Amino acid sequence: MTFGQKLKALRKEHGYSQEEFAQHLDVSRQAVSKWESDKGMPETDKLLQISTIFGVTLDYLLKEGSTDEKQQDIGYYVSREMINGFLSYKRQGAKRITIGVSLIILCNLFISVIPDKEIALLPYWITMVLGIAVLVWHIFQPKRYKEIAKKQLLFDDAIIKDFRMEYEKNRKRYVVMIIAGVILLVLGPGITLVTMNFLGSNIGIALSWVINALWIALFILAGLFMQAENMIARNAEYIETKSSRGRFAWVYVALPVTAIAVVIGIVVNAWSPVMPIIALFCALLVTVCKLLMEGRNSK
């Protein structure tokens, strides 16, 4: 197959009209028609965009041959702009999870601070519902950048080298965040006790909820940020092993289950509402530690 034939087949396979595809590339429809008729070739930057859109290698696009070669040369070219977009998308998701879980925890502040329990229930439930709503909203967000999690990625050497250097620097920051979270987790009860002795039990209990929200937020952000960057920096290992493809899928199941367990604990008082959250983030901590060990062993 010629370049034009491959381009036309890929465009139709992905459901684009010539006009829609031209808009993605910021060219005219006539230019796309010209390429598909083998009367011209795109510029290099347009070729890179085409390989990214369709998830194929430049070698596949430019080398004449049968469609079977697509399966052999399949790959997904990732530019620096796409890496930044993917990380921004993942960080926004991590922040939504953090906000949702933090609201669920901090709703207990109203019970601790407001003496009249009936008055405290209104802001308590509003905050609780908002937290759950944020988590549900996150779960139903459109899934983007699926190819990065599923396909072997192709990079320019300079791009991936620079990114891996940044990844190593960021990983140290995430370790600091985890250490800070552990310190808050360990010292939290002592800080709460001192506060209760000097400022009263209500203030002490309220401070304990704030501390719990802080260390859990640090674990969420550090763990999910590190996981997203690891997907880029160590794509080959992530794709090659069977377990790697779905190793973090449990997080998306665990989040709604944890939210439900928290609500049940609050409503029926069957268990402490904090315990399901602690269990989830202990699991996240173990996952983060595994990532750190993998990174260290791969050097």
Mean pLDDT by 10 residues, the chain (299 residues): 83 81 88 89 85 75 57 60 86 91 86 83 90 88 77 76 87 90 87 86 85 88 88 62 49 67 61 69 66 55
Per-residue model confidence (pLDDT) at position 266: 62
Instruction: Check: pTM over 0.75? Answer yes or no.
Output: no
User: 227 near 285, Cβ under 8 Å?
Assistant: no
Residue at which a domain ends, from 46, 75, 104: 75
Are residue 132 and residue 223 in the same domain, yes or no? yes
| pLDDT score recorded for residue 176 | 92
Do 76 and 232 touch, CB atoms closer than 8 A? no
Q: Which of 55, 272, 215 lies closest to 146, judged by CA?
A: 55
Q: What is the pLDDT of residue 154?
A: 73
- CB 119, CB 238: distance < 8 Å: no
Do 86 and 59 lie in a common domain?
no
What span, in angstroms and rounded, lies between the C-alpha atoms of 200 and 156?
60
One-letter amino acid at 28 equals S
What pLDDT is stored for residue 69 in this prediction?
Answer: 44
Instruction: Say what the pLDDT of residue 282 is.
Output: 66
Q: Last residue of some domain: 75, 92, 123?
A: 75
Amino acid at 72: Q
Q: Which of 41, 75, 109 is the last residue of a domain?
A: 75
Q: Are residues 223 and 125 in the same domain?
A: yes
> Residues 119, 261: one domain?
yes
What's the confidence (pLDDT) of residue 236? Answer: 47
Q: Which domain holds residue 226?
A: 78-297
Contacts of 123 by beta carbon, 8 Å cutoff, 6+ apart: 107, 110, 114
Residues 47 and 172 in one domain: no
The answer for residues whose C-beta is within 8 angstroms of residue 110's C-beta and 6 or more apart is 120, 121, 123, 124, 127
Residues 278 and 180 in one domain: yes
91 and 147 together in one domain: yes
